[in-house]
Amino acid sequence: DTGVSQDPRHKITKRGQNVTFRCDPISEHNRLYWYRQTLGQGPEFLTYFQNEAQLEKSRLLSDRFSAERPKGSFSTLEIQRTEQGDSAMYLCASSLDRTRYNEQFFGPGTRLTVL
Amino acid sequence: QKEVEQNSGPLSVPEGAIASLNCTYSDRVSQSFFWYRQYSGKSPELIMSIYSNGDKEDGRFTAQLNKASQYVSLLIRDSQPSDSATYLCAVKSQGGKLIFGQGTELSVKP
């Protein structure tokens, strides 16, 4: 299977702890996106990379959130000092910007629960 | 006004009927539009992309785009119970990110 993969699939943590999620995009895709989705809502954009460059960050991405894509392949999203409001599904998507629609394909997501 | 709005659900249709899902968007310069299907507890799955005004058909799915009215729709013909899911409309911004509607829950009754 050469789809987008995410790890872990589920994470339960206590308030105040740091967590890190990993995303591996489809191998030839140069763009990688992070979204967050809460129950009953559509995904909300957090940030995206083209190769290793972080090109856009949402105002939703507070200074407790940081994302990296060091070699233009996999990406990590770290949340420091987690809060209960961070509980959500964190979705990663990838795309190839040379295609007509630049279609984004999502991974299975990481469900975060902050106690 | 939200950037992308979908008709409120849940939408319930009998098996074999046509399900019609609607979406409006506010940014007139948007060029690419997508429909994703999301089963409960799963991630969104891309089912249709549309770029030009008019209709685009793929199997039982037809996407319709009207840029003048800033309106996108998805028709599902011969609806099946397996089509029961939340359908998300997404609009690509100039920067590349997707802006999603809140989703419409579809229930197909046998």
Q: For position B108, what pLDDT does the model report?
A: 97
Q: For position B40, what pLDDT does the model report?
A: 95
What is the sign of the dihedral through the CA atoms of A60, A63, A65 and A67?
positive
Nearest Cα to Cα of residue A93 among A109, A104, A83: A104
Q: For position B103, what pLDDT does the model report?
A: 96
Contact A56 B90 (CB under 8 A): no
Q: Counting one residue from A and one from B, how many pairs have CB atoms under 8 Å apart?
A: 63
Q: Which two tokens stand for residue B13?
A: 């249709």
Q: For position B49, what pLDDT does the model report?
A: 95
B32 interaction partners in chain A (CB closer than 8 Å):
101-102
Q: For position B1, what pLDDT does the model report?
A: 66
Task: Please name the residue that has the structure tokens 């009998």.
Answer: B14
Contact B98 A56 (CB under 8 A): no
The residue of chain A nearest to residue B30, with distances taken between CA atoms, is A101
Q: For position A101, what pLDDT does the model report?
A: 77
On whether the CB atoms of residues B87 and B4 are closer than 8 A, the answer is: no
Is B2 an 8 Å CB contact of chain A?
no
pLDDT in tens, chain A (115 residues): 579 999 999 999 999 999 999 999 999 899 999 999 999 999 999 999 999 999 999 987 889 999 999 988 999 999 999 999 999 999 999 999 877 778 999 999 999 999 9
pLDDT-flagged residues of chain B (< 70):
1
A40 interaction partners in chain B (CB closer than 8 Å):
102-103
Name the minimum distance, in Å, from the CA of B83 to any CA of chain A.
18
Nearest Cα to Cα of residue A109 among A4, A31, A20: A4
Q: For position A102, what pLDDT does the model report?
A: 86
Of B42, B97, B99, the CB nearest to A48: B97
Q: What is the DSSP letter of B18?
A: P
Nearest Cα to Cα of residue A6 among A27, A33, A19, A25: A25
The Cα–Cα gap between A108 and B96 comes to: 21
A7 interaction partners in chain B (CB closer than 8 Å):
none
What is the sign of the dihedral through the CA atoms of A32, A38, B3 and B12?
positive
Is A17 an 8 Å CB contact of chain B?
no
Q: Which two tokens stand for residue A27?
A: 């191998």
